[in-house]
Amino acid sequence: MTKDLPLIVGLTGNIGSGKSTVAKAFSQLGVPTFDADKVGHELLDSDTNVRKKILSIFGKEVIVDGKISRRRLGQIIFADASKKAALEGILHPAIMKTIAERAARFKDSRYVIMEVPLLYEAELTENFDYIILVKAKKNIAVQRAAENLEISREEVLRRLATQIPQTDKEKLADFVISNDSSLAELNERVELLHGILTSIGRV
């Protein structure tokens, strides 16, 4: 990317950390924000190349009412790690390309935020100029996720066990935002980081 384009800043964190709340705070400051999961869902419905590649691997059994069913895809990849890797191999490059294209439209913005839940697990670090990790104490994160996702604490813990430990991600991230206290305090931390990101250069 050239210097006249905005920095692409990855925003990640384990389940229940509050990534979406932080993304919203950046958006309220006028920072363009993108949700990788939502972009992926859009591509399943609209990108003919992505659709063709997925059908070549998964077949027509993933089609429901003329569209690729995310639920059926999920059932397949949950039971087959190789199929999961194949799907990620199709979607991840397409998602990153799409977001880079959209980010390029915001030439007046110093940076854009891209929310990617499993950024480290998917080994996508090379796509970002900087990475922000949102962290939270385990008990707070588990309770938050159970309430927001309307699932059991046991299910939250099961999903958490599949993610890279938060302490390991802290060592890898460029910036870390703690989300254990009030929304007002969180917004203050986001504003502070916003000031930093608008003043630094491309790595």
pLDDT at 78: 79
> What are the extents of the domains in the chain?
1-32+109-203, 37-105
* Per-residue model confidence as pLDDT tens digits over 101-111: 999 899 889 99
Look up the CATH number of domain 1-32+109-203: 3.40.50.300
Q: Give the three-state DSSP class for 44.
A: helix
What DSSP string describes 163-192? Answer: SPPHHHHHHH-SEEEE-SS-HHHHHHHHHH
What pLDDT, on a 0 to 100 scale, did the predictor assign at position 189? Answer: 97
Mean pLDDT of 119-127: 92
Count of Cβ atoms closer than 10 Å to residue 82 Cβ: 9
One-letter amino acid of 124: L
First to last CA, the chain: 11
Predicted local confidence at residue 5, as pLDDT: 82
Q: Determine how β-strand 33-35 pairs with β-strand 111-115.
A: parallel
Residues 167, 120 contacting (CB under 8 angstroms): no
Whether the predicted pLDDT of 1 surpasses 50: no
**Right CATH for 37-105 from 3.40.50.880, 3.30.479.30, 3.30.390.10, 3.40.50.300:** 3.40.50.300
- At 137-176, the pLDDT tens digits run 999 999 999 998 898 999 999 889 989 999 999 999 999 9
